Amino acid sequence: MTSIVWFRNDLRLADNPALREAAERGPVVPVFVWAPEEEGDWAPGAASRWWLHHSLVALDRSLRRHGSGLIVRRGPTETALRGLAEETGAEAVLWNRRYEPAAIARDAELKQALPGARSLPGNLLREPWAVQTRSARPYQVFTPFWRALEALGDPGAPEPEPSIGSPERRPDSLAVDELGLLPDIPWDEGIARTWTPGEEGALERLASFAERARRYGEERDIPAAEATSQLSPHLHHGEVSARQVWHAVRNAAGRAGEPFLRQLAWRDFAHHLLFHFPHTPQAPLRPAFADMPWRDDPRGLRAWQRGRTGYRLVDAGMRQLWETGWMHNRVRLVAASFLTKDLLIDWREGAAWFWDTLVDADLANNTLGWQWVAGSGADAAPYHRVFNPSAQAARFDGDGRYRDRWLDAEPAAPIVDHAEARERALAAYAATSRDSAG
């Protein structure tokens, strides 16, 4: 039986449930369909499109080792998949699940429209509905979610790369270049120097991190130490699976790897929340924050985006983001706190900027992270927690190595006084809390 495998954010051959099932059935027609108009408000941003281009090229190269190759088509997705099934005589269309609201709605329609259409779990440790409270409700606090996830035991062992057969005639395909994913004005030199998209690059980075995973718990908050895994863009694009990462770290570090495994579970938690609360990319999970008196401050927003706030840890992070498409997690927290608390700018403005500039831009993670810092989401930081950027710099970058790496020697003048901005934010948050209670 010939099967179509519809690739999306699972751009790998190993531990790919849809690909494995199709390969066991018979010839495989691997396809990627470019249909950004079907992503709702969340078509891939510029940095994600850059990554996607190179990851698709890498996937095609891997498939060609099997005598196959990636078929590239433009949407609408239903039209593309239906046409490909008619061309190849495929009797099944298989894919691995996504959990964004627009993707869920589209998948449901495709299952009704296409014969033999079926989705499989392949991008999380556990499905979002598999972890629930005793009253069968979704979790909104991470620690009990982690305990429930841990109680289910290690996820299944990852599957090896299957042997892939091909139909007698390879269907026509667009070249990846024809999708126009790369920027018209080159700004991506730093990103290209930093990353190697594709399954091979993902596995190399995983192997490198697994060797030092024991130190993660002690060094993860030090941005100059480069102690984090930097696997997030590979995970988002599915070049490595969550359970591949879990088992590699567990095997290399044992119980010492638990601080990192908790972070991997945080990714599951983010998708758990997005699945159960699909409105949260646009609206606060906690209704009281719908009336938060955010400030309209275009100059402040622009200064933050360009890394010109005058607070060197914030600015270093924003410069790292612009040059590499990635920012250290501790610095993300400080930069996000500065935008939402010091400048009192709506968290959705920050989420939109990250969406366009991060190579690991992921709707679930981006939403959870910004709402956590803003105090409006699940397991949120208390509204009175306002990161002091200078104190954070002294604590986590005491020798200034991280700041010096990304900034010129001369600091800019601060655009706000942190102490005054903190009091302004606390007053606004307190007023919102009182109004919701009354």
With b for 16 or more beta-carbon neighbours within 10 A and e for fewer, the 360-370 pattern comes to: bbbbbbbbbbb
Residue 34 lies in a domain: yes
Residue 265 lies in a domain: yes
For all residues of the chain together, what is the average pLDDT?
95
Number of domains in the chain: 3
Q: Is residue 279 over pLDDT 80?
A: yes
Residue 123 to residue 140: CA distance in whole angstroms: 21
Residue 63 lies in a domain: yes
* Whether residues 96 and 231 fall in one domain: no
| Domain end among 245, 276, 307 | 276
Does one domain contain both 253 and 322? Answer: no
The pTM of the full predicted model, rounded to 2 decimals, is 0.96
The b-or-e profile of 46-81 (16+ CB within 10 A means b, else e) is: bbbbbbbbbbbebbbebbeebebbbbbbeeebbebb
Nearest to 245 by CA among 203, 199, 217, 200: 203
pLDDT tens digits for range 335-359: 999 999 999 999 999 999 999 999 9
- What pLDDT is attached to residue 186? 78
Domain of residue 234, CATH code: 1.25.40.80
Q: Is 378 helix (H, G, I), strand (E, B) or coil?
A: coil
Residues ≥6 apart with Cβ < 8 Å to 272: 128, 131, 138, 139, 145
Which pair of tokens denotes residue 405? 């790496």
Q: Which of 122, 146, 170 is the last residue of a domain?
A: 122
DSSP β-bridge partners for residue 94: 5, 118
What was the pLDDT predicted at 437?
Answer: 43
Residue 424 burial (10 A CB sphere; 0-12, 13-18, 19+): middle
Q: Is 182 exposed, middle or buried (0-12, 13-18, 19+ CB in 10 A)?
A: middle
- Domain containing residue 67: 3-122
Read off the CATH number of the domain in which 343 is found.
Answer: 1.10.579.10
**Domain-located, residue 57:** yes
Question: Same structural domain for residues 139 and 267?
Answer: yes
Same domain, 307 and 270: no
> Do residues 99 and 234 both lie within one domain?
no
What is the per-residue pLDDT across 218-232, written as a single tens digit (0 to 9) for each? 999 999 998 999 999
Cis before 162? omega within 30: no
Q: Are residues 208 and 98 in the same domain?
A: no
The CA distance from 318 to 305, in Å, is 6
Residues 376 and 240 grouped into a single domain: no
pLDDT of amino acid 434: 60
User: In this structure, is residue 263 part of a structural domain?
Assistant: yes
d(CA 242, CA 230): 13
Q: Is residue 171 part of a domain?
A: no
- Residue 56: CATH number of its domain: 3.40.50.620
